[in-house]
Amino acid sequence: MLNPLLKNVLVAVNGSEASMHASMYGILLAKQLHVNLKAVFVVDTATLKQLTMTKLFVADESESYETNLVADGEHYLQYIIDLAKQKGVQIETELRKGAVWSEIIACADEFNADLILIGGRKINAYDSMRRNVISASRGEIISGAHCSVMVVRKSGLEQIFKQA
């Protein structure tokens, strides 16, 4: 008997439209394939610490900014929970702090993820080649993950999600 290829899927959320599309894709995947789904938002405290050490932020500014990022993360994760409920899908969420790429990989490992979904985006309109760009964190996730990683770029995903 062949074991299923996908059992646990992790969605990396950063609040961008691309990550929201990855979340919708994950919810639809969970609905169709009956996989376990988890969404993770990482507050980038590693960068905040670096900015404080280089004196670009003072400690109070860094703490205030971190508090705002935590609130944003909680908001985005709640939005994804609401989307999942609309489709009758159970989803686990987690807010973590640290370096984005390493926390996502650690979360995927702890969740025994078979797949990490990340949002893809295009370069701005000034790029004549209109190539897709992967940020440094996305690149680190792709190269460092211990499971498959999928960059979601499905066009018309919001409409597909509404119809599902």
- Residue 18 has a pLDDT of 92
- Residue 132 has a pLDDT of 39
For residue 96, what are the β-bridge partners? 42
Query: Which whole-number Å values give the CA distances from 96 to 32, 45, 155, in the listed order?
Result: 28, 9, 29
- Residue 145 has a pLDDT of 97
- Residue 122 has a pLDDT of 61
Residue 50 has pLDDT above 50, yes or no: yes
Residue 103 has pLDDT above 60, yes or no: yes
Residue 150 has pLDDT above 70, yes or no: yes
Q: What is the CA radius of gyration of the chain?
A: 17
Residue 55 has pLDDT above 80, yes or no: no
For residue 9, what are the β-bridge partners? 37, 115
Whether residue 21 contacts residue 12, with contact meaning beta carbons closer than 8 Å, is answered with no
- Residue 130 has a pLDDT of 34
Residue 102 has pLDDT above 70, yes or no: yes
Question: What's the pTM value of the predicted model, to 2 decimals?
Answer: 0.88
Q: Within a 13 Å sphere around the CA of 142, how many CA atoms are in the beta-carbon half?
A: 13
Whether residue 118 contacts residue 149, with contact meaning beta carbons closer than 8 Å, is answered with yes
The tokens describing 138, both together, are: 């996305």
